[in-house]
Structure 1
Amino acid sequence: MRERDIGRVVVGVDDSLAGLRALREAVEMARLRGMEVRAVRTYRPPPEPGGGGWNTGMDPQSFAAEDPRSALRRNALVAARHAFEQAMGGVPRDVVVSIETESIPLHQALAAVACRDRDVLVVAAAQRRHAWWPPRRSVARRCTTRAVCPVLIVPAPRGARELGSHWHPWHRRQRRRELDALLDKLTA
């Protein structure tokens, strides 16, 4: 079979629980079908000179020491490798994996990379939104309307879904108790 006849598994790299699960599913699918994994991580482009700054999450000295775009690209690569570490202990060696970074929104980057009919696009399902948050279309929904290939939407693990709307970042003690109770229930 020629290389162009073989599809690829394209996955968006995200550090959420659903994103890590999607990464594992993509690698497993690639193993079973002998396909290549194309992992895509996006970053916000640097601000234009004189256009006001924004918080990049980077160390200011490292940001000033090199070109902002290459620093953001490097940090996106580090974040993608870290996601592989969290999901499966590192980038797998038995599957061909290529990590790509883009400075466009994730749904556009995924649709651009998964451009063949034989590709498979794997995305994480959107987390629940609160009623007071403005409604947005999820990356998964946007990918299903833009992709030319099959799209596999991977839900968050059951434990994360069970926490659902009870998971508030401003209630740290309550969050810790809920997580401990859930882990106790799962290990019992």
Structure 2
Amino acid sequence: MGDSGRRRVVVGVSGSLGSLTALHRAVGEARRTGGELLAVLAWEPPGGEVAHGRSMFSPPLADLRRDAAERLLAALGTAFGEAGPAVPFQGLVVRGTPGRALVETADRADDLLVIGAGSRGAMRVLFPSAARYCLAHATCPVLAVPPSPLQNELVSLRRRISLRLSLDAQEAADDRS
């Protein structure tokens, strides 16, 4: 086990529905194994490192890091409210790409890295996922959590709203039962 004698359960958190689903699964794994949860939010300057270094009007890195910390706290609040996850945990804000930040954080053989599996649509070719990076590069076990069943329903609902199609609340309720 790690330095604390507990298994570390490392989970990527962005605030997306997929990451919140993974976060809840990670809490369950930490509880089941008596482990410690490390909730990681990765961040990069807007436009990437090179663009940030070249721009005269880039926001200070301290401000960007603070914003990332606030996003992590908001995601934890959304997932657990004021009660918190009810397991020992740390929130980590790591500068870098999500996949690399997660793999570098989950650097012990006895760690468990929990990630949201992300979308399975055509866009994954254009936007490589952190999940794929983690599965290819992690040196510890990786648990890829599939998207919540609600995610497809939310996407469908957003599409209907953006197309200004009518919404029938009774029909939606009937679909859920």
Shorter-chain TM-score range: 0.7 to 0.9
Shift of 1:7: 2.1
Distance 1:43 1:178, change over 3 A: farther
Q: 1:70 aligns with which of 62, 82, 86?
A: 62
CA distance in structure 2 between the aligned counterparts of 1:78 and 1:32, rounded to whole angstroms = 28
Q: State the AA in 1 paired with 2:77.
A: E
Matched position secondary structure for 1:98:
strand
Corresponding residue of 1:110: 102
Corresponding residue of 1:88: 80
5+ unaligned residues in a row in structure 1: which ranges?
A: 55-62
TM-score by length of 1: 0.76
Shift of 1:172: 5.7
Q: State the AA in 1 paired with 2:37.
A: V
Distance 1:182 1:90, change over 3 A: farther
Distance 1:71 1:29, change over 3 A: same
Corresponding residue of 2:71: 79
Deviation per CA, 1:75-131: give whole Å up to 9, x if none. 111111111111222462631211111221000000000001110001111224346
| RMSD of aligned residue pairs (Cα, Å) | 3.0
1:1-188 equivalences under 5 Å are: 3=3, 6-45=6-45, 47-48=52-53, 50-51=54-55, 68-90=60-82, 92=84, 94-130=86-122, 135-162=126-153, 167-168=158-159, 171=162, 173-174=164-165, 177=167, 181-183=171-173, 185-186=175-176, 188=177
5+ unaligned residues in a row in structure 2: which ranges?
A: 47-51
Distance 1:180 1:145, change over 3 A: farther
Shift of 1:139: 1.0
CA contact (8 A) 2:43 2:94 kept: yes
CA distance in structure 1 between the aligned counterparts of 2:96 and 2:5, rounded to whole angstroms = 28
Distance 1:147 1:81, change over 3 A: same
CA contact (8 A) 1:91 1:97 kept: no
* Sequence identity (%): 33
CA distance in structure 1 between the aligned counterparts of 2:122 and 2:4, rounded to whole angstroms = 44
